[in-house]
Every structure is written in C-alpha cells, then in structure tokens.
C-alpha cells in the first residue's frame, strides 16, 4: 500500500471514533444543559409561586398577564409556552390536582423514589424533567417541566454530522499536506536507484527526517564502498602474492636443487661435500625463506591497516631472535654478526610479524651485500623519547643516487643487481612501510669507515 493510501486509512480509522466520541459528548452536554436549565426554572417558579400553587392546585399554574394571554396559550405558564415549555405541580404521591396535568412519567417516578432529586427523559419530541422541591409535603412537592425538542439534536446520531464533517475535512487536509513529503520520498527513491548504478551520493538537504535518511544512505554507501575497496585490495594482494611467489621461488629452488645434487654426488662418491656448495645451498635456503616472508608481509601491507595487530613486544628479545636466525648464514659467508641490547626490557606496541620481518630485512641486507671478512653490528639502545635501533656494516655501501631511491619499492642498486640479479627490491621498501605504519622513522646514511648505517627511531610503550 502506498504512503498516501496508508495515511488515509490510518486517518479514517482515527477520524470515525473521534467523530462518534465528539457526538456523544455533544449530546451529553446538551442534555445536561437542558436538564439543568429546566430544573432551575421549575425550582425558581415554584419557590416564587408556592403559596398560590398550594392554595389553588386545581388551576395552577395560571397566567400572570390576564385572560387574553391565557386564552391565546402564551407564556411559560400555559399549556404551550413561547419556548414550547409546560410546567405542572405534583404531590409526594406523584399525583396532580390539576386535571389538565398529564400522568407522572413512570421512569421519572422510579428515579425520584430511588433517591434522586432531579430526573429526566428524552425522546424524539420532548424532554421531561422532574424536580423534587425542598419541601416534602403538599400538592406542590414535585415540579415537572416538559419542553419540545423538535429540531434540536439530542440524539448522538443527529449530532454526528458536524464533528464527522470537520474530521473528514481535517483528514483530507492532512492527506493533501502530505503531498510534498511523498514527493520528496519519491525523489529520494529515484536518486537512490540512479546513484546506486553511478556510485553517486544522494541529495540530502535540510534537517528533517527525510534529509537524515538521505545522509544515512550516503554514509552506508561510503562504508560499502570502503569495504568493497578493502576486498579488492585483498584480492589484488593475494593474486600478486601468488604470482610473485610462483615466479620468484622457481629460480632459487632450481639453484638449490643444483647445490643439493652436488652434495649428493659427493656423498655417493664418499667425499665430503664442498664447503662452497654447502654455503651456496644455505644461502639459497635463507634467500627463499626471506623472499617468502617478504612477499607475505608485502601482501599484508598492501591490504592495509585492518590486518595490522599491535601487541606489547620486547624489542631486545626480537633483535636476539633475528640475529640468531641470520648467524649461520653470516658464518658461512665469513661475516661477523654481532649485536647489543639493553639489560632491561625495552617494550613497544607493535605488530610482531611486521617488525620482525623489517628488522630481519635490515640484517639480511647488511649480511648479504657485505664481503667475506666483513662485519655487521645490530645495536638497540634507549633514547630520550624512546628507542634507537642501528644496523651497521662495512660493505660497499651506496652512492648518493642509490641512497635517494633505496626505499622505493622495486628499486635495486647496482651492487645488489650485480651480486643477486633475482631480487625483487622489497626489503627496504617493506622496512619503510612497517616503520611508517607504527609512527617511527627510518634513515639511511653512509658510514665514515665505509659501509651503510640504517637507523630506526620510535617511542616505547608507556605501560
């Protein structure tokens, strides 16, 4: 059902009871007013004319203004007065001495006998009101007033017309007044349907409920678009991860397979494996491990902050774990890998997977791009505002151009390309992304002694 039809139905269901109730109240008020007026007239007249009524009850009431008015039947005293009213007196037994008085109405007699002082009845032609006088004896103990009601709406069905008409008019005005609201809702519906296809927000001007609905629709669309964008980023990151993993893992796996074949051939011949072959195999294994981790972290960073989880983390313990992981490879390459951490724990709130991979990349680069007999030092210390982590080496270092672009994703310096042509250039780019995500800073600089120094600074967890 449309809004206008529903509004008309609701108003109709509300108007009819209101009109009927108004008619009942109108009739009740009219009857009470007539009853009170008649009772006051009877009481005032009998109290004023009691002596004459009791003296001549057979002819009371008589006109006060001469025989002509009595002959013409005028005045409230006559059988039919100007207002169609007649007054008669009755004794305590409900009998009248006036032969012209009609019998006492049974319903009124029953009401007065039950203790009421005033009783009334209404029909289509007249209202009859009986009033018990303050005195209980005599021929004028009770007065009865009869008044014509022809043309007066004393029945609720007769009084219903005007309230019903007013209610119907009010309902009609309300339905017409709802027209602009209905049109705005229709425009909003059309804008929602059109904007859904075009991706445009709906118009939401004003401060009423319809404008609030438009703004809520826009907010909900924005959340949906954000959610869809997140899903698309995850899907893209997953596809790139699978593609990069498939392509870039095959080459080191092939090289590793060659090294293992050489080791097996030496074992079959009863010879000890060549040291260089074993070192090459370990290097490829370390490279594969770091590559897969970097691809995984890159995919996580590409998706964005929703997948980043921050927990309390002891940086000293993490540095020791990273150094221990890279020590066997450094030893095989004849590179001294050393570290230093504070005696007391140094805690931060961070994503342990991302931070561990970032520090691992720094150590991996320092070891892998160094020469035999070189040195790598990993130093963690406190600072006035938090912590300082330095990874230093005495390798070939970088040129000014390479330093300027080293943090770009996919960029690889000349030395890196010469030594390891299969690299993806993810290591330092991942470090920069992880550091930025945690609100830390990362700087690269050439050391005066030669080589490269990478410094990470950040705040510690106050808790």
Contact between residue 143 and residue 45 where contact means Cβ atoms under 8 Å apart: yes
Cα 329 to Cα 284: distance, rounded to the nearest angstrom: 10
Q: Could you tell me which residue, 110 or 67, shows the higher pLDDT?
A: 110
- pTM exceeding the 0.75 threshold for the entire prediction: no
In this structure, of 38-52, 77-91, 431-445, the range with the lowest mean pLDDT score is 77-91
Residues 385, 99: Cα–Cα separation, whole Å: 120
Q: How far is Cα 240 from Cα 302, in angstroms, rounded to an integer? A: 10
Whether the pLDDT of residue 441 is over 80: the answer is yes
pLDDT band at 76 (very low <50, low <70, confident <90, very high): very low
- Is the pLDDT at 71 greater than 50? The verdict is no
Whether pLDDT at 178 is above 70: no
Least confident residue range of 18-27, 47-56, 406-415, 431-440: 406-415
* Domain segments of the chain as ranges: 3-162, 225-307, 308-458
DSSP secondary-structure letter at 399?
-
Q: What is the pLDDT of residue 229?
A: 81
As beta bridge partners, residue 132 has 142
**Quick check: 104 and 17 in contact, CB under 8 A?**
no
Return the higher-pLDDT residue of 350 and 1: 350
Q: Are 133 and 140 in contact (CB under 8 A)?
A: yes
Tokens of 222: 């924005």
Reference 359, options 337, 334, 385; nearest CA is 337
Percent of the chain predicted with pLDDT > 70? 72
> Rounded to whole angstroms, how far apart are CA atoms 356 and 430?
11
Q: Which CATH class is domain 308-458?
A: alpha beta
User: pLDDT tens-digit profile of 328-379?
Assistant: 888 888 999 999 999 999 999 998 888 988 898 899 889 988 888 999 999 9
Distance CA 367, CA 392 (A): 10
Confidence of residue 151 (pLDDT cuts 50, 70, 90): low
Say which residue, 81 or 105, is predicted with more confidence. 105
Pairing of β 142-148 and β 336-340: unpaired
Determine the pLDDT at residue 393: 94
Q: Is pLDDT at 162 greater than 70 in this prediction?
A: no
- Asked if 83 and 76 count as a contact pair (C-beta separation under 8 A), the reply is yes
Mean pLDDT of 238-262: 67
**Pick the residue with more confidence: 415 or 339?**
339
How would you class 398 by CB atoms within 10 Å of its CB: exposed for 0-12, middle for 13-18, buried for 19 or more?
Answer: buried
């Amino acid at each position: 059902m449309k809004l206008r039809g529903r509004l008309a139905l609701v108003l109709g269901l509300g108007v009819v009871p209101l009109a009927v109730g108004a008619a009942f109240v109108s009739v009740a008020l009219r009857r009470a007013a007539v009853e009170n007026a008649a009772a006051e007239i009877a009481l005032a007249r009998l109290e004023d004319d009691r002596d004459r009524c009791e003296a001549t009850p057979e002819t009371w009431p008589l006109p006060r203004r001469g025989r002509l008015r009595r002959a013409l039947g005028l005045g409230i005293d006559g059988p039919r007065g100007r207002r169609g009213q007649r007054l008669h007196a009755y004794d305590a037994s409900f009998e009248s001495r006036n032969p012209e008085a009609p019998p006492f109405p049974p319903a009124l007699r029953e009401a007065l006998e039950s203790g009421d002082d005033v009783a009334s009845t209404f029909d289509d032609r007249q209202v009859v009101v009986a009033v018990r006088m303050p005195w209980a004896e005599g021929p004028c103990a009770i007065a009865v007033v009869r008044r014509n009601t022809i043309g007066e709406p004393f029945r609720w069905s007769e009084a219903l017309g005007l309230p019903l008409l007013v209610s119907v008019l009010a309902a009609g005005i309300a339905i017409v007044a709802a027209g602009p609201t209905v049109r705005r809702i229709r425009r909003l519906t059309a804008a929602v349907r059109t904007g859904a296809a075009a991706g445009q927000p709906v118009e939401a001007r004003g401060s009423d409920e319809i404008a609030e609905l438009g703004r809520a629709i826009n907010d909900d669309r924005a959340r949906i678009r954000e959610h869809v964008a997140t899903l698309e980023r995850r899907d893209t990151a997953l596809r790139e991860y699978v593609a990069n993993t498939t392509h870039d893992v095959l080459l080191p796996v092939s090289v590793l397979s060659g090294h293992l074949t050489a080791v097996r051939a030496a074992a079959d011949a009863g010879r000890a494996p060549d040291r260089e072959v074993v070192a090459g195999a370990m290097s490829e294994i370390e490279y594969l491990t770091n590559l897969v981790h970097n691809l995984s972290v890159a995919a996580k960073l590409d998706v964005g902050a929703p997948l980043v989880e921050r927990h309390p983390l002891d940086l000293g313990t993490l540095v020791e774990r990273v150094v221990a992981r890279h020590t066997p490879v450094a030893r095989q390459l004849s590179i001294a890998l050393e570290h230093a951490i504070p005696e007391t724990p140094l805690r931060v709130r961070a994503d342990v997977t991302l931070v561990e991979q970032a520090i691992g990349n720094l150590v991996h680069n320092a070891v892998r791009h160094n020469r035999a007999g070189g040195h790598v030092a990993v130093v963690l210390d406190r600072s006035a505002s938090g912590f300082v982590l330095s990874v230093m080496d005495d390798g070939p270092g970088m040129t000014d151009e390479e330093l300027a672009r080293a943090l770009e994703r996919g960029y690889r310096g000349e030395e890196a390309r010469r030594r390891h042509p299969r690299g993806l250039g993810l290591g330092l780019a991942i470090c920069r992304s992880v550091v930025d995500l945690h609100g830390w800073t990362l700087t690269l600089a050439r050391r005066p002694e030669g080589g490269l120094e990478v410094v990470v600074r950040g705040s510690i967890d106050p808790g």
